Amino acid sequence: MFKKKNKLEYISDPRQLIVHNDPKSPISEQYRTIRTNIIFSAVDKEMKTILLTSGAPNAGKSTTAANVAIAFAQTGKKTLLIDCDLRRPTMHYTFETTNTNGLSSAIVNDINIQELIELTDIHNLHLLTAGPIPPNPAELLQSFKMKNLMKTLEANFDFIIVDTPPALSVADASILSDIVDGVLIVTNTKTNSRDELRKTKESLQKANANILGIVLNNKKMTTRDSYYYYYGGDK
C-alpha cells in the first residue's frame, strides 16, 4: 500500500508524511512535540481520541492529522487514523490506497468496521478511509451508529486521530467534538486570519469541545534558533 519514498520522490510529493520519511528533521520533531503535549494534557481525562479541524479548508488539517498519527504510532501504541472528512476525503491518496469502502460504508451498510480498517506500511498505524461520499455527511456523523462505532474502536486502539472538514463551513467537526476526548485547531498562519481562528474556537466551544490547543501550520519562528522552531514548510 504505502511505500517509503526515496529523497527525490519525497521532495516532489505534495502529501508529505515527513514524520515517517524524515523522522530526524526539525519539522518531524515539532509533530512529536504536538504528540507530547497531547499526552501531557491527559491529566484528569484520558486522551485517546483526538480530533483535528480548522476554520477554513487547506489549513493543513489532513497533513497534520497524518503526521501526528504517525508520531503516536512511533511510540509503539496501536494507533488508528480515521478520515471523517466525508466531504473532501484525502487520506486514501496520502496512504496510496482505495476508498471503495470506509467509514460511510460502515455506518450505512452495516459492514463490519474491523474489515474496513487497513494496516498501513507504517508500523502500528491503522487507517479507516472515509468511504464513498454520502449526500448527508452530518447526519451520518451524528447517528447512534457512529457513536457506537467510536466506542468499539476505542476499545480496540490506544490512540485514535480523527480528520474532519473545516468547522466554519459545516457542522461535522462540532458534531464529532462531542464524541472525542480532545480537539486541535489547525491554522495556516499565512492564509488564515486571527478572526477566523477566534470564530472557529467559539463555534467549537458552543459544541462543548475540549479544545487542547492550536497548531500553527506554515509558520517560521523567528525567535532563538528558528531552525528548531520550525513548524511547517514554505511551499
Ligand X SMILES: Nc1ncnc2c1ncn2[C@@H]1O[C@H](COP(=O)(O)OP(=O)(O)O)[C@@H](O)[C@H]1O
Which parts of this chain interact with Mg ion (CB under 5 A)? 61-62, 90
Element (H, E) at 197: helix 194-206
Locate the DSSP E strands across the chain: 49-53, 79-83, 118-119, 125-128, 159-163, 182-188, 211-217
From 51-59, 117-125, 193-201, 222-230, give the range in contact with ligand X by CB under 6 A. 51-59
The interface partner of residue 174, options being ligand X, Mg ion, none and the CB cut-off 5 to 8 Å by kind, is: none
β partners of residue 80: 126, 160
Closer CB to ligand X, residue 87 or residue 145? 87
Candidate list 32, 61, 92, 126; residue touching ligand X; CB under 6 A: 61
CA-wise closest residue to 27 among 196, 224, 219 = 219
Confirm or reject binding of residue 55 to ligand X (CB under 6 A).
no
Candidate list 21, 30, 49, 63; residue touching ligand X; CB under 6 A: 63
Candidate list 55, 60, 102, 131; residue touching ligand X; CB under 6 A: 60
From 56-64, 108-116, 135-143, 193-201, give the range in contact with ligand X by CB under 6 A. 56-64
From 61-69, 103-111, 175-183, 193-201, give the range in contact with ligand X by CB under 6 A. 61-69
Mask 192-221, x = binds ligand X (CB under 6 A)? -------------------------xx---
Candidate list 4, 15, 147, 190; residue touching ligand X; CB under 6 A: 15
Closer CB to Mg ion, residue 109 or residue 165? 165
Residue 216: Cβ within 10 Å count: 18
What is the 3-class SS of 141-160, one letter each residue? HCCHHHHHHHHHHHHHCCEE
User: Least distance from C-beta 90 to Mg ion, angstroms?
Assistant: 5
Residue 145, judged by CB atoms within 10 A of its CB (0-12, 13-18, 19+), counts as: middle
Cell 526539525 sits on residue: 26
**Which of 169-197 are b and which e, b meaning 16 or more Cβ less than 10 Å from the residue's Cβ?**
ebebbbbbbebbbbbbbbbbbeebeeebb
Instruction: Name the residues that contact ligand X, by CB under 6 A.
Output: 14-15, 54, 57-63, 90, 217-218, 232-233, 235
